Chain A
Amino acid sequence: MRAVIAKLGQALLLIIAVIVLNFLLIQIAPGDPADVIASASGGTTPEIMAEIRAQYGLDQPLWTQLWNYTTQMLRGDLGQSYFLDQPVSSLIAARIGPTILLVLSALLFAIVGGVFIGVFTARRPENPVSHGVTIFSLVGYSMPVFWTGIILVLLFAIRFDVLPPSGMTDVKFSGGLVAKVIDIAEHLLLPAFTLGVIYLAQYSRLSRATMLEVLGSDYVRTARAKGLGERTVVYKHALRNAVIPVVTIAGLQFGALLSGALLVETVFNWPGLGRLAFDSLLRRDHPVLLGILFMSALLVIIANLLTDLAYRLIDPRIRVGG
């Protein structure tokens, strides 16, 4: 329990550090924020500039600005978009769901698929699939994710026309809840596969390596010696240990996964944070970009906490060790 509280405290410190970084970025960036706001709203006389400075607190000393900025961010107020007359937080709230859906589907696909392939190939090292896994993981790692996405669209959406090429729902959609879930799932398939396949390759290689090690260990021999069936030995005794490194790595890679989602969303027109980031980038809408950076860092911090909890559950040794 104490360890969990310490982790939460560290997470809070990390969040504050991200906020300070955001503030610093705004400060170092060339160009006066008041200028940007003024040009977005039209006229610029010295009086209007002074008014804007006062309104946004830009005339205060730097420390006061930092303090105001931090408390404001912690309250969940991420500022106002320069471009769309909306608070950044509501823009992000509208887009965060699809991103989480995409990232979690890709992660689930990669972990479940990777562990399955890993276990399969560890039990049959001479199977052609086992040799394939090594090549596959090298190839998967080397492909730019946005390019894979475009090629998959070319193949499955255009050439064979079996899956929708972009978006999250059909424009002409009508129907009940079940039909809607199916519709979204169809749209999710290609982007989730594109994003997940790199990690699938890595996780299958990783779980194959751990599984090979675990299958040669003493306790597996003991389990076999006391006459347990092969299935029980593999799936009940060995699998648990093959999953731990995969979960650890997956937690560490969550940030990279989010980065990948950014590109995949751009390719597939998926209405998530990545798409919003891309649009804001074209409009030089800095508050939105910084808000997305903050939210994404927050997601990574949460993912790390959850990973920590997850392997406390899987591995009792960590629970005892604290």
Chain B
Amino acid sequence: MADPMIDVSGAALLDAADDLVAASPGRQALAMFVRNRAAVVGFVLFVLIVFMTLFGPTLYGVDPFKIVWAPHTAPLDTADAAPLLGTDYLGRDVTAGIIGGGRATLTVAAIAAGMSVTIGLVLGSLAGFYGGWVDIVLMKVTEFFQVLPALLFAMVLVTLFEPGVWTIAFAIGVVAWPSTARLTRAEFLRLRNLEFVKAARAMGASDLRIILRVVLPNALPPLIVSTTLVVGVAILFEAGLGFLGLSDPNVWSWGQMIGSNRSYFLTSWWSVTLPGMAIFVTVLSISLIGDGLQDAFNPKLRER
């Protein structure tokens, strides 16, 4: 296993000469990422979406809950002040809905992904680092959570408790972590007996220090890629719960928009397809970033 730090292959040296900077692994990965057109498109899309959800509602200035026009107005209606993307079955502005619906989705996804990555990292690193009975017990717990159909479990949690942002984020976070835990464990198992970890131990570093400062940084690349997957899953989950009517009724969201307009999709297809498009583009942009990162972190591809 070649360590990227001591990569002295011809291609890597040429690369370094190219940039006239010492090419750290991070810099090399960044260079790979920027050269990947799909990944850059994904990144730009994602930034645009985040901007839209942060500042869009204020800039556009229409409340998505408010009835503003005749119901079932088609997009691009020729009437002067008609909303660009039409209205739904109550006459609410679909454009405002699209702009405002991302905030809840992205907030929930961010909290849920943060939570599940934290749980996964902690449990996975403990299991992989200590092995033995710690590993057995923690992997049994992981297996248990893999057996529960995630969406159904989240549904039960949200029905039993109140459907607020935190409940939903918690419900998603608590079911989405097993894949991160497994991956972290595998990385720690691979790394824990390598020379540099032994060296750190010989120098008297504490377990916590070895886990956080020695092993974890080397396990990061695959974990970052898997985090993009977790964020995508969290968004799809939030949308699914919203679609089933399990989101906070006072907060506008794309999934809930599709769910409430579903019965009227024959008369106004746009009020169902457009929010779905928004979810699709958001998840796609994150997948593109993840795919790009995966290639960027892969030293085999870099040497070519």
| Chain A residues within CB distance 8 Å of chain B | 14, 17-18, 21, 25, 28-30, 138-139, 141-147, 150-151, 154, 158, 252, 255-256, 258-260, 262-263, 266-267, 277-278, 281-282, 284, 286, 289-290, 292-293, 296-297, 300-301, 304
* Contacts A/B (CB < 8 Å), 17 sampled: A21-B148, A25-B157, A139-B284, A141-B283, A142-B284, A144-B236, A144-B239, A144-B283, A146-B258, A259-B152, A263-B244, A277-B152, A286-B160, A289-B156, A293-B148, A300-B147, A300-B148
Supposing A143-B280, A147-B279 touch, asked if A255 and B149 sit within 8 A by C-beta, the answer is yes
Decide: A259 and B149 in contact? CB cutoff 8 A.
yes
9 closest cross-chain pairs (CB), A and B: A147-B276, A259-B151, A142-B283, A142-B284, A29-B160, A258-B149, A255-B149, A296-B149, A259-B149
Chain B nearest CB from A65 CB (Å) reads 17
Contact yes or no, A144 B255, CB < 8 A: yes
Would A304 and B147 be within 8 Å (CB), given that A144-B236, A146-B240 are in contact?
yes
**A150 interface neighbour in B160, B255, B262, Cβ under 8 Å:** B262
| Residue of A whose beta carbon sits closest to that of B291 | A138
Residues of A within 8 A of B246 (CB): 281
Known: A144-B236, A144-B280, A150-B258. A17 touches B144 (CB 8 A): yes
Given contacts A14-B144, A147-B280, A150-B273, could you give 14 more A-B pairs where the C-beta distance is less than 8 Å? A25-B157, A139-B284, A141-B232, A142-B283, A143-B283, A144-B243, A147-B273, A259-B152, A263-B151, A266-B243, A281-B245, A293-B148, A293-B156, A301-B147
Contact of A144 (CB < 8 Å), options: B146, B276, B287: B276
Q: Does B133 count as interface, using CB distance less than 8 angstroms?
A: no
User: Cβ of B157: which chain A residues have Cβ within 8 Å of it?
Assistant: 25
Residue of B159, B269, B273 with most chain A CB atoms under a 10 A cut-off? B159
Secondary structure at the A interface, as helix, strand, loop or mixed, is helix
CB distance from B148 to the nearest CB of A (A): 6
Q: How far is the CB of A34 from chain B (nearest CB, A)?
A: 16
- How far does the Cβ of B36 sit from chain A's closest Cβ, in whole Å? 13
Which residues of chain A are within 8 angstroms of B255 by Cβ–Cβ distance? 144
| Contacting residues, chain B, for A255 (C-beta < 8 A) | 146-150
Given contacts A14-B144, A29-B160, A258-B149, contact A142 B280 (CB under 8 A): yes
Q: Is the interface of B mostly helix, strand, loop or mixed?
A: helix
Interface residues on B, range: 35 or more
Does any Cβ of A come within 8 Å of B76's Cβ?
A: no
How long is the Cα–Cα vector from A28 to B157 in the complex, in angstroms?
10
C-alpha gap A9/B8 in the complex (Å): 52
Residue of A30, A138, A267, A300 with highest tally of chain B CB at under 10 A: A138
Interface string of B101-128 (1 = CB under 8 A from A): 0000000000000000000000000000
A296 to B150, CA, bound (A): 10
In the complex, A25→B171 CA distance in Å? 13
What CA separation (Å) do A29 and B258 show in the bound complex?
Answer: 29
- B250-274 contacts to A (CB < 8 Å): 255, 258, 262, 265-266, 269, 272-273
Which chain A residues border B7 with CB–CB below 8 Å? none
B156's contact among A25, A30, A151, A304, by CB below 8 Å, is which? Answer: A25
Which residues of B have CB within 8 Å of A252? 146
B residues in contact with A142, CB < 8 Å = 232, 280, 283-284, 287
CB <8 Å contact, B159 and A281: yes
Complex Cα distance, B147 from A30, in Å, reads 25
Q: Which residue of B lies closest to A158 (CB)?
A: B266
Docked-complex contact A258 and B147, CB < 8 angstroms: no
Q: Which A residues are in CB contact (< 8 Å) with B240?
A: 144-146, 259, 263
Is B155 at the interface (CB under 8 A from chain A)?
Answer: yes
Task: Enumerate chain B residues within 8 angstroms of A262, measured Cβ to Cβ.
Answer: 149, 151-152, 155
Alpha-carbon distance A256/B150, docked complex (angstroms): 7
B231 to chain A, nearest CB (A): 12
Q: Is the CB of A14 within 8 A of B161?
A: no
B165 on interface, CB distance cutoff 8 Å = no
Residue from the list B149, B244, B269, B280 in contact with A278, Cβ < 8 A: B244
- Distance in Å: Cβ of B265 to nearest Cβ of chain A: 6
By a CB distance below 8 angstroms, the chain A residues around B243 are: 144, 146, 263, 266
The residue on A at minimum CB distance from B141 is A17
**Set of chain B residues within 8 Å of A151, measured between Cβ atoms:** 273, 276
Please give me the residue from chain A that is nearest to B255 by CB atom.
A144
Q: How far is the CB of A166 from chain B (nearest CB, A)?
A: 12
Q: Write the nearest CB–CB distance from A15 to chain B, whole angstroms.
A: 9
Contact A25–B160 (Cβ < 8 Å): yes
The reply to whether B269 and A138 form a contact with Cβ atoms under 8 Å apart is: no
Q: Does B288 contact A (CB under 8 A)?
A: yes
- With A and B bound together, what is the CA distance between A258 and B152 in angstroms? 9
